[in-house]
Amino acid sequence: NLILIDHTEAFGPDTPISRPLRRIEGDYWDRVLALTRKDLDAKLRPWLDENQIAAILDRRERMKAEIARRTSALARAARISTR
């Protein structure tokens, strides 16, 4: 169960990713990557303003960068350990 009390951190435009990403389900991440600004506007505009929706997309970009960085590090480690 997920109980959301305060959305300030979830939708704030300058909110950092507070915890390192350890694991993310592939199907879920594929759906996150497929979301467009148009999709988010259509579903969230009644509750979130432009900056908050932009913050979601910005956070996704930061998550993508972190996943790419960690994936690259793991790939380098695998190449090193198999030689």
Q: What is the pLDDT of residues 19-32, one digit of tens each?
A: 777 788 899 999 99
How open is the CA angle 39-41-44, to the nearest 5 degrees? Answer: 100
* Residue 83 pLDDT class (50, 70, 90 cuts): low
Tokens of 54: 């932009």
* Residue 71 pLDDT class (50, 70, 90 cuts): confident
Please indicate whether residue 55 or residue 74 has the higher confidence score (pLDDT). Answer: 55
> Whole-model pTM?
0.71
